[in-house]
């Protein structure tokens, strides 16, 4: 329970934050170009997770214009940026990032086996092994927490800030939920291998990597999608004899979940011109795309290799009619062809351009920018580096209307607070718990459309109260003065906010800055 002093302090900070919200409305005239300092802060806030004290010092030393030119060039070539040694060591020490898919699934199955044995003992009236009862929690949950810690550490410390912002965007676009079965142990591998390598690469490559990854195949059930009337091979039927708990998990027919989301969310968009018949036919084309789970049946220490496998026995080999095209039976090649078509489709270009502009420019993105991004996507063959470059070269991105026009999500608010206060990530668990309380646990979006990035989704009185509480806690931990924090935030703090803040008690000023309307925006 929070002590009385903390509650009183938080209440005072909340009252001050509300006063800042009422008073801090003055801004530059609409249409006025951004100053050099504003452009630099806009880049840090929109293309990453906000300034650190060292960023403010570099801008002051180099001049905002030269600093920004160098920053943008570096962000488009993240592999040339050396990573901090502390970050490299931290990531290198994470067991999870070094495990293969088969070993990860093997560990998950070992945890489930221990839990099942404990439940059987309990049903027989025997005293269950407490360790076995907690097996899933002990063996699986720490892996999810480690994956989330790795994401936070990179967002906090990596100089490749644009890459981290793009990882957040594209993971959310191809969302998987860590709370569904074995996705929990596979989510870090999914981000590491299906998302991160492609955020400045080819969209088609990312589309294929997500389609074949066991996390996606499990989350949207394509691993359970088989041709109607499928029967396991003779050897498998022999193994299943007398094992009703295993037999119940044998797939029995078509599952359309992945095919639907592949078109509705990942590519064409809900208005992309497809029909329910197209969903069914695409699902037929993707039957047999699943997992070779036998690789994870050996002892976890011996399991190795990727889990994706195409099983021709599970595939519907008949002809299909999809998006007005007759697709002849060709095994796995049918699914690959579908991904080729979807990646190059004009509706996909429009859908992705709109989402990209919404995430990085405005909740209601300018239509001219969306059209330009879509045209670039088509002309470049889905080159995401060129898509990003087009965004950064657009007048709309650097406009006064776009400046501080986005409201931070809980994740963006947390990371930007840690960076502004220059706090280390030495106690990640309370921070991850704060994200969960705020409604945005990492890898915790249950639906395929992921988390919203608009103000309407996150700006409400309860969220403001939670942010003031977090701001109060972090401000006390940091030992940073309001003057130091104000220097770091620079041009992103308005003069009305600075003037109002000066009238507040010194002990509350850091929390008030972090809870101010200016800092809530990006």
Q: Of 95-109, 200-214, 223-237, 472-486, which one has max mean pLDDT?
A: 200-214
Q: What is the pLDDT of residues 250-272, one digit of tens each?
A: 677 999 999 999 999 999 999 99
Q: Compute the average pLDDT of residues 273-279.
A: 98
Q: Are 215 and 178 in contact (CB under 8 A)?
A: no
pLDDT of 7 over the 60 cut: no
156 located within any domain: yes
pLDDT band at 227 (very low <50, low <70, confident <90, very high): very high
Residues 113 and 178 in one domain: yes
Question: What local confidence, expressed as pLDDT, does residue 493 receive?
Answer: 94
Location of structure tokens 């990860």: 104
Question: What local confidence, expressed as pLDDT, does residue 126 receive?
Answer: 61
Question: What local confidence, expressed as pLDDT, does residue 290 receive?
Answer: 97
Q: What's the distance, Cα to Cα, between the start and end of the chain in Å?
A: 33
Residues 291 and 236 in one domain: yes
Residues 38 and 103 in one domain: no
pLDDT band at 294 (very low <50, low <70, confident <90, very high): confident
3-state secondary structure of 202: strand
Question: What local confidence, expressed as pLDDT, does residue 113 receive?
Answer: 80
pLDDT of 25 over the 60 cut: no
81 located within any domain: no
pLDDT of 148 over the 60 cut: yes
Region of residue 120 (phi > 0: left; psi between -120 and 50: alpha; otherwise: beta)? alpha
pLDDT band at 299 (very low <50, low <70, confident <90, very high): very low
pLDDT of 238 over the 80 cut: no
- Among residues of the chain, what percentage have pLDDT more than 90? 75
Question: What local confidence, expressed as pLDDT, does residue 127 receive?
Answer: 57
Q: Compute the average pLDDT of residues 123-148.
A: 70
pLDDT of 365 over the 80 cut: yes
131 located within any domain: yes
Residues 292 and 372 in one domain: no
Structural domain count, the chain: 3
pLDDT of 122 over the 70 cut: no
pLDDT of 386 over the 90 cut: yes
109 located within any domain: yes
pLDDT of 247 over the 50 cut: no
Question: What local confidence, expressed as pLDDT, does residue 213 receive?
Answer: 98
Question: What local confidence, expressed as pLDDT, does residue 249 receive?
Answer: 57
Quote the mean pLDDT of the chain. Answer: 89
Q: Compute the average pLDDT of residues 488-516.
A: 92
Which of 323, 358, 392 terminates a domain? The answer is 392
Residues 281 and 427 in one domain: no
Q: Using CA atoms in the order 376, 380, 382, 387, what is the torsion angle rounded to 10 degrees?
A: -40
pLDDT of 11 over the 50 cut: yes
Question: What local confidence, expressed as pLDDT, does residue 73 receive?
Answer: 97
Residues 184 and 197 in one domain: yes
Q: What is the pLDDT of residues 449-477, one digit of tens each?
A: 999 999 999 999 998 899 999 999 999 99
Residues 302 and 354 in one domain: no
Question: What local confidence, expressed as pLDDT, does residue 321 receive?
Answer: 98
Residues 378 and 454 in one domain: no
Q: How many CB atoms lie within 10 A of CB 470?
A: 24
Q: What is the pLDDT of residues 99-117, one digit of tens each?
A: 999 999 988 888 888 777 7
Question: What local confidence, expressed as pLDDT, does residue 123 receive?
Answer: 67
230-236: Cβ within 8 A, 24+ apart = 230/313, 230/314, 233/313
pLDDT of 224 over the 80 cut: yes
Among 99-113, 169-183, 330-344, the least confident range: 99-113
304 located within any domain: yes
Which of 392, 422, 455 terminates a domain? The answer is 392
Residues 175 and 186 in one domain: yes
Residues 251 and 371 in one domain: no
Question: What local confidence, expressed as pLDDT, does residue 177 receive?
Answer: 98
Q: How many CB atoms lie within 10 A of CB 163?
A: 23
pLDDT of 377 over the 60 cut: yes
466 located within any domain: yes
401 located within any domain: no
Among 183-187, 228-232, 484-488, the least confident range: 228-232
Beta bridge partners of 326: 321
- Where in the sequence is the domain holding 361, given as residue range(s)? 346-392
400 located within any domain: no
Beta bridge partners of 521: 407
Residues 263 and 132 in one domain: yes
Contacts for 377 with CB less than 8 Å, ≥ 6 apart = 203, 348, 349, 352, 353, 383, 387
Residues 226 and 241 in one domain: yes
Question: What local confidence, expressed as pLDDT, does residue 244 receive?
Answer: 46
**385 vs 501: CA distance, rounded Å:** 41
**115 vs 136: CA distance, rounded Å:** 7
Q: What is the pLDDT of residues 47-91, one digit of tens each?
A: 999 999 999 999 999 999 999 999 999 999 999 999 999 999 999
What CA–CA distances, in Å, run from 11 to 6, 159, 414, 444?
A: 8, 36, 20, 30
Beta bridge partners of 498: none
pLDDT of 301 over the 60 cut: no
């Amino acid at each position: 329970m929070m002590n009385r002093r903390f509650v009183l302090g938080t209440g005072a900070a909340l009252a001050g934050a509300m006063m800042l919200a009422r008073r801090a409305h003055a801004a530059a005239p609409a249409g006025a170009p951004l100053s050099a300092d504003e452009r630099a802060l806009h880049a840090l806030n929109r293309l990453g997770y906000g300034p650190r004290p060292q960023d403010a010092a570099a801008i002051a030393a180099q001049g905002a214009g030269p600093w920004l030119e160098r920053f943008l060039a570096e962000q488009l070539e993240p592999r040339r940026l050396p990573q901090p040694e502390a970050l490299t060591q931290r990531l290198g020490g994470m067991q999870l990032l070094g495990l293969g898919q088969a070993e990860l699934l093997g560990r998950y199955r070992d945890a489930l086996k221990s839990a099942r044995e404990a439940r059987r003992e309990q049903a027989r009236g025997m005293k269950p092994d407490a360790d076995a009862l907690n097996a899933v929690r002990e063996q699986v949950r720490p892996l999810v927490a480690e994956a989330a810690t790795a994401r936070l550490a990179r967002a906090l410390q990596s100089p490749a800030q644009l890459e981290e912002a793009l990882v957040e965007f594209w993971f959310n676009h191809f969302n998987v939920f860590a709370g569904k079965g074995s996705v929990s142990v596979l989510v870090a591998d999914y981000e590491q291998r299906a998302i991160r390598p492609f955020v400045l690469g080819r969209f088609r490559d990312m589309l294929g990597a997500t389609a074949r990854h066991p996390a996606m195949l499990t989350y949207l059930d394509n691993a359970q999608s088989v041709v109607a009337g499928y029967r396991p091979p003779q050897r498998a039927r022999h193994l299943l004899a007398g094992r009703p708990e295993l037999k119940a998990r044998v797939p029995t027919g078509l599952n359309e979940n992945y095919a639907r989301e592949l078109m509705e969310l990942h590519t064409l968009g809900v208005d992309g011109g497809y029909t329910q018949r197209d969903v069914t036919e695409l699902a037929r084309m993707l039957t047999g795309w699943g997992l070779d789970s036998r690789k994870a049946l050996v002892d976890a220490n011996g399991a190795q290799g990727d889990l994706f496998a195409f099983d021709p026995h599970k595939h519907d080999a008949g002809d299909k009619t999809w998006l007005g095209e007759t697709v002849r039976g060709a095994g796995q090649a049918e699914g690959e062809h579908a991904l080729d078509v979807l990646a190059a489709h004009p509706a996909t270009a429009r859908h992705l351009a709109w989402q990209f502009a919404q995430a990085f420019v405005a909740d209601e993105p300018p239509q001219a920018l969306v059209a330009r991004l879509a045209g670039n996507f088509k002309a470049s063959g889905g080159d995401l580096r060129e898509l990003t470059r087009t965004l950064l070269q657009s007048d709309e991105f650097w406009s006064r209307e776009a400046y501080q026009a986005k409201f931070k999500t809980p994740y963006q608010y947390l990371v930007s607070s840690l960076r502004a206060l220059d706090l280390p990530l030495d106690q990640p668990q309370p921070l991850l718990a704060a994200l969960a309380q705020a409604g945005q646990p990492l890898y915790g979006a249950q639906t395929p459309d992921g988390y919203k990035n608009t103000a309407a989704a996150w700006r409400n009185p309860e969220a403001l109260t939670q942010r003031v509480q977090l701001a109060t806690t972090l401000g006390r931990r940091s030992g940073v003065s309001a003057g130091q924090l104000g220097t770091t935030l620079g041009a992103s703090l308005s003069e009305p906010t600075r003037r109002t803040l000066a009238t507040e008690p010194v002990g509350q000023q850091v929390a008030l800055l972090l809870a101010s309307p200016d800092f809530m925006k990006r």
